[in-house]
Structure 1
Amino acid sequence: MLTKEKILEALKHVEDPELHKSVVELNMVRNIAIEGTNVELEVVLTISGCPLKAKIHDDVEQAIIDAGATSVSLTFGTMTPEERAELTKSLKKEATTDTGMPDMLRPDSGVKFIAITSGKGGVGKSTVTINLAVALARQGKRVGILDADIYGFSIPAMMKIKQKPTMIDQTVIPVVSNGVKVMSMGFFSADNNPVMWRGPMLNKWIRNFLVNTHWGPLDYLLLDLPPGTGDVAIDVAAMIPQAEEIIVTTPHNVASFVASRAGVMAKHTKHTILGVVENMAFYEEQDGSKNYLFGRGGGDALATELDSQVIATIPFASPKENKVTSVFDEESYISEVFSLLAEDISFKMEAEKV
């Protein structure tokens, strides 16, 4: 026999797909009416025009049918401003300590931070960030990307993300793409307008991305830093002293020379250098020979100077791999390289926590 208690018990396993909490826990289920095996109910969404309304509908309907209903009549409402304010307060309370510091920044939070940096632009730093994050997600890790390149944000465009983050009052829900949660200034800059801020505003927005974003449980947060050693890099070092860094360069000696400054800064700020990624290392011709378009040895020279090692050598993509998105196909050779890199990094970083 169907009862309200049985319906609620079934719906405890249905999550809001953005907040990743039970619709029952979020008090979204209202006005349950049962007549035999026919069930009527209302689901109250966090905001009007919720982009995942259809998924919530299907999940709720299926859960109730699995509980024994033969038909489900489902209507939708929207939380009142007071209810949204209470929800925001609850989310922030979960995600911050008593001092207001994001819970994820506590040394014992379990979140591993990887800052991806370079000496100069154009070396593929963001491509490395995206594909490493996706590789970790494909291996079952809970991963986020913070596009901290405030002036040169590119992650949403590179991943072809069209939707905007959901806002619940002052709390932002990251967009999920390829299993990775993404937050970027690119979501808030209309028509690709430039960001023209001085240092204090940069610090404020990086902090906002950490404090006012509902990241949910994460194993890894990758930060795509702007090239060089400017304000953002300094702020991130101060906010996240436990972060470890990957330095990206090309084989060209100038790129390697400039990248060494980012590595020296990492050491100065006490960040551990995970290693050097040499991107655009070579192009493989049709006959299998390697064409070193940018020369050779830059990655090794940088690793030697920083007393580190080259942890991945990424070739140019072949024409068939140059797709619309910067995420490489899981079956491609370059994706395999990133998969091995993800395995090595997770093994090393998780061993450090033991």
Structure 2
Amino acid sequence: MTMMHTNEESASQSIEQHLYQRLSKVIDPELGRSITDMGMIVSIEAVPRVPSVENGIAAYDVVVQVELTVKGCPLSETITNQIKGAISSYPSADLTPHIEVSSMSKEKLSHLVEGLKEARRSNPFTKKDVKTRIFAIASGKGGVGKSSITANLAATFASLGYDTAAIDADIYGFSLPSIFGVHTQPTNLNGMLMPVTAWGVKLMSIGMFTGADRAILWRGPRLQRSLEQFLSDVWWGEPDVLLLDLAPGTGDMAISVAQTLPNAELVIVTTPQPSASEVAVRSGLVALQVPMKVRGVVENMSWFDHQGEHLHIFGEGGGERVSERLTHALQYPVPLLSQLPLETDMRTTAESGRPAVLNKDGALDNSALAQSFKKLALSLMS
């Protein structure tokens, strides 16, 4: 009897050890770290079921005590489902998972956050070995679709499998939350913010804190500080791509980006008409004064398809003009990366809280517009 009891204990301990190893591969979606490394798994107990053998396979109830970072964590269900999946896939026994969820104590959470901050140490995107490609989407004037392009480009990157983040750096005219259908605030972990994830993109915007109906009356130093906080006080992990939706023109925020993210690349958005392309050139010429490279030009609203005909409502050639003038002024190639049509879907789908390049299931659509953004995304990463 004692020998049988000892064998059962040994078998349970072996299962518990193997399950812990499996759970070490479960990654917290917000922090990008293993749930075991972060101390979220408090205990694992494999209890023989009665009868202990079913269909010739040893049967156990597995009780896992999980401590999430905050009470009411929005990704609680996602994490518990991943834990259940890891347990259920164990091949050597019939395991039934039972997940008991609670939240970390203030002391434990504080220790975790301090460790994360120590590992990151301020702005994570200025390290020499950073892998993140940073694209600042700029325009000379408003109304050219810069934010729509930023949102759809971010959604495209995410759908292609890139770990993607986006910052709404247009403090006065923030619009990314509405395009992505975000109505929640970032989770606050003892002073460290978790970006809100929507349609596969990690997002941060001042609009998540103020509400879309409130005016922002900030000037230079405070604007720069807001960007620094978005970079250093938010846990981004190590995204493959970071997009910044800049305010129109060549003001304080563009200079702040250059100072805080010297490895960022500018993407200039224009429309075909001369009035837009002229000011778009000026936004690109910022690169003569700050250490930023202009990656290329995107011409938006290039034509409108009507009964099989391309109607050039806003004229032609704006993107080419900006490309040629910046190439001449900066003395390196500034290509015209893409010409995008004027499509009502860019507006109507965004108003529903979904980037137009995605279908309702969140996958990249098969439309010509989505394929144009796919081509643009791949060209930027080349």
Deviation at 1:133, TM superposition (A): 1.8
* Equivalent in the alignment of 2:105: 80
Bigger CA drift: 251-260 or 326-335? 326-335
Deviation at 1:91, TM superposition (A): 1.3
Deviation at 1:320, TM superposition (A): 9.7
* Equivalent in the alignment of 2:355: 326
Bigger CA drift: 316-325 or 203-212? 316-325
Alpha-carbon separation, structure 1, partners of 2:344 and 2:283: 29
* Equivalent in the alignment of 1:350: none
Of the three residues 241, 247, 253, the one matched with 1:220 is 241
Deviation at 1:152, TM superposition (A): 1.0
> Letter of the aligned partner of 2:69 in structure 1?
T
CA offset digits 1:53-108 (Å, max 9, x no partner): 11222221222232335322221111111111111111112222xxxx42321232
Deviation at 1:6, TM superposition (A): 2.4
* Equivalent in the alignment of 1:258: 279
Alpha-carbon separation, structure 2, partners of 1:53 and 1:248: 39
CA offset digits 1:305-345 (Å, max 9, x no partner): 11133110000115698423333232111111111111111
Residues 152 and 23 from structure 1, CA distance in 2 versus in 1: closer, same or farther, beyond 3 angstroms? same
* Equivalent in the alignment of 2:370: 335
Alpha-carbon separation, structure 2, partners of 1:250 and 1:142: 29
Q: Secondary structure at the match of 1:188?
A: helix
Alpha-carbon separation, structure 2, partners of 1:103 and 1:270: 18
> Letter of the aligned partner of 1:18 in structure 2?
E
* Equivalent in the alignment of 2:339: 313
Of the three residues 247, 251, 255, the one matched with 1:234 is 255
> Letter of the aligned partner of 1:186 in structure 2?
G
> Letter of the aligned partner of 1:76 in structure 2?
V
Q: Check the 8 A contact 2:323/2:336 in 1, yes or no.
A: yes
Q: Secondary structure at the match of 2:165?
A: strand
Q: Check the 8 A contact 2:155/2:357 in 1, yes or no.
A: no
Q: Secondary structure at the match of 2:376?
A: helix
Of the three residues 317, 331, 340, the one matched with 1:297 is 317
Alignment partner of 1:150 is 2:150: no
Alignment size in residue pairs: 342
Of the three residues 27, 34, 46, the one matched with 1:22 is 34
Q: Secondary structure at the match of 1:235?
A: helix
Q: Map 1:71-220; keep pairs closer than 5 Å.
A: 71-96=96-121, 101-190=122-211, 192-220=213-241
Which 4+ runs in 1 deviate beyond 4 A? 318-321
Instruction: Indicate the structure (1 or 2) with the bigger Cα radius of gyration.
Output: 2
Q: Check the 8 A contact 1:321/1:328 in 2, yes or no.
A: no
Alpha-carbon separation, structure 1, partners of 2:280 and 2:212: 31
Alpha-carbon separation, structure 2, partners of 1:78 and 1:33: 19
> Letter of the aligned partner of 2:321 in structure 1?
A
Deviation at 1:240, TM superposition (A): 1.2
Over aligned residue pairs, what C-alpha RMSD do you find?
Answer: 1.8
Q: Map 1:40-59; keep pairs closer than 5 Å.
A: 40-59=63-82
Deviation at 1:261, TM superposition (A): 1.2
Deviation at 1:17, TM superposition (A): 2.1
Alignment partner of 1:35 is 2:47: yes
Alignment partner of 1:5 is 2:34: no
Q: Check the 8 A contact 2:124/2:231 in 1, yes or no.
A: no
Of the three residues 284, 287, 291, the one matched with 2:305 is 284
Q: Secondary structure at the match of 2:239?
A: coil
Return 5+ residue gaps in structure 1 as ranges.
348-354
Alpha-carbon separation, structure 1, partners of 2:241 and 2:212: 30
Deviation at 1:233, TM superposition (A): 0.8
Q: Check the 8 A contact 1:266/1:272 in 2, yes or no.
A: yes
Q: Check the 8 A contact 2:346/2:355 in 1, yes or no.
A: no
Alpha-carbon separation, structure 1, partners of 2:311 and 2:246: 30
> Letter of the aligned partner of 2:194 in structure 1?
I
Q: Check the 8 A contact 1:39/1:69 in 2, yes or no.
A: no
